[in-house]
Amino acid sequence: MFDCIIVGAGPAGGTAAYHLAKRGHSVLVLEKEALPRYKPCGGGVSPAVQAWFDFDLTPAVSLKTNTLRYTWKMGDPVEAKLNTLEPIWMVRRDVFDHFLIQQAQKQGAELKDNTEVTGIEFKSDRWQVNTANGPVEGRYLIAADGAKGPMAKWLGFKERKRRLAGALEAESPASSPVDPTIHFDFGLVKNGYIWNFPKADGYSLGIGTFRGGEAQDLKKLLAEYGQMFGIDLKMSKQYGHPLCLWDGDQKLHTQNAVLAGEAACIVDPFTAEGIRPSMFSGLKASEAISQALGGDRDALEKYTQVISEEWGTDLVWAQRLSGVFYRVPGVGYRVGIKRPSATERMGKVLCGELRYSDVAGHAIKRLSGSLIPGRG
């Protein structure tokens, strides 16, 4: 029997597995896909995550960049250089996620990939996890199986507070040296943005809509955007997937189990950043379960509190900023993105040098003060 079974080998699961195994706990990671596996994702990662590990993450980083370029409906460009301690990291999720799991395995964690979980059952003091390859048992469970995973429902989290959003992504190999610029376009898609993120050998293009609203032909919009870069997305497979945006505090623990990563609905509601918050939740989940294994009966309840206090309070500001910006994106582009100081502050938020609470109040005040009828 394992001290902890982790379902899902993404950034949350890999982070939790590493830290639990390093503390000497027996850990099993179950992953339905065979690793390494492709995962549609823009792949932007804040370098702030390095502080949570005692090994170097950069071997799993595809490219680093501090150059951003914004457009409004493919025109009116703004270029910016981030003056941050470390550039933004761009990763390929098959490489990055597998690298985390490999570090956990070096600490003694076990991996069963290509193993789908088919059900769970609590037995007096342990969880029995049924898989396509037979049952396994663990004293504690971490559900890190993503936005579409069944674990949260099986654990009894039926009505989670979340805002479901959608993204469509495609990969394009580079036929010439890669331009290491991060591109964002606003205005073409309602309540979201389109992006082109560079990797060492190509580009990840995507489109996300974060606040609901009218239906749009996302495939057509993404194809038009790709043409800006000479990229024909008709030749690329496109992947649609849901995003579980944070929509307020909620309970993330139950009997001997916690939710982490997108299963905990922890994606940033303004930028849709998911990797850093997932890794943070994995780190805090590992701490809570280690304390529970040591006899702290309140450890899992404290996990819910920690996520709320250390992450959720900041995402309140991200949610407010999202509500104002995406309601009037033209104004947001003109009085926010086109201001060098605003871009610099947002870059520092993305790189973990500032929090939303440091910048959002001023930004919301500026946006709200610019809502002049007939403009934007």
Break the chain into its structural domains and give their ranges: 2-63+88-158+247-319, 163-244, 325-369
CA nearest to 19, candidates 56, 54, 58: 54
Confidence bin at 371 (pLDDT 50/70/90): low
- Residue 57: HSE in the Cβ half-sphere, 13 Å Cα cutoff: 28
**Across the strands, what pairs with 118?**
none
For residue range 108-126, list pLDDT tens digits in order.
999 999 999 999 999 999 9
Of 146 and 211, more confident: 146
For residue range 34-80, list pLDDT tens digits in order.
999 998 888 999 999 999 999 999 999 999 999 999 999 999 999 98
- CB 77 within 8 Å of CB 70: yes
Confidence bin at 275 (pLDDT 50/70/90): very high
Domain 2-63+88-158+247-319: CATH class, spelled out = alpha beta
Phi first, then psi: what are they for 340, rounded to 5°? -55, -40
Phi first, then psi: what are they for 63, rounded to 5°? -165, 150
Residue 215 confidence (pLDDT) above 80: no
Report the Cα 189 to chain-centroid distance in Å: 20
Question: Which DSSP string do the residues of 231-242 spell out, in sequence order?
Answer: --GGGS-EEEEE
24-33, 59-68, 183-192 — which is least confidently predicted?
Answer: 183-192
Of 320 and 376, more confident: 320
CATH number belonging to the domain at 163-244, selected among 3.30.9.10, 3.30.2030.30, 3.90.1010.10, 3.40.50.720? 3.30.9.10
Confidence bin at 173 (pLDDT 50/70/90): confident
pLDDT of residue 339: 86
CA nearest to 189, candidates 217, 158, 231: 217
Residue 10 confidence (pLDDT) above 90: yes
- CB 48 within 8 Å of CB 57: no
pLDDT of residue 373: 46
Give dist(CA 356, CA 40) in Å, integer. Answer: 26
Residue written as tokens 């996302």? 218
- CB 325 within 8 Å of CB 332: yes
Q: What is the pTM for the complete model shown?
A: 0.94
Give dist(CA 59, CA 350) in Å, integer. Answer: 21
Residue written as tokens 């947001």? 332
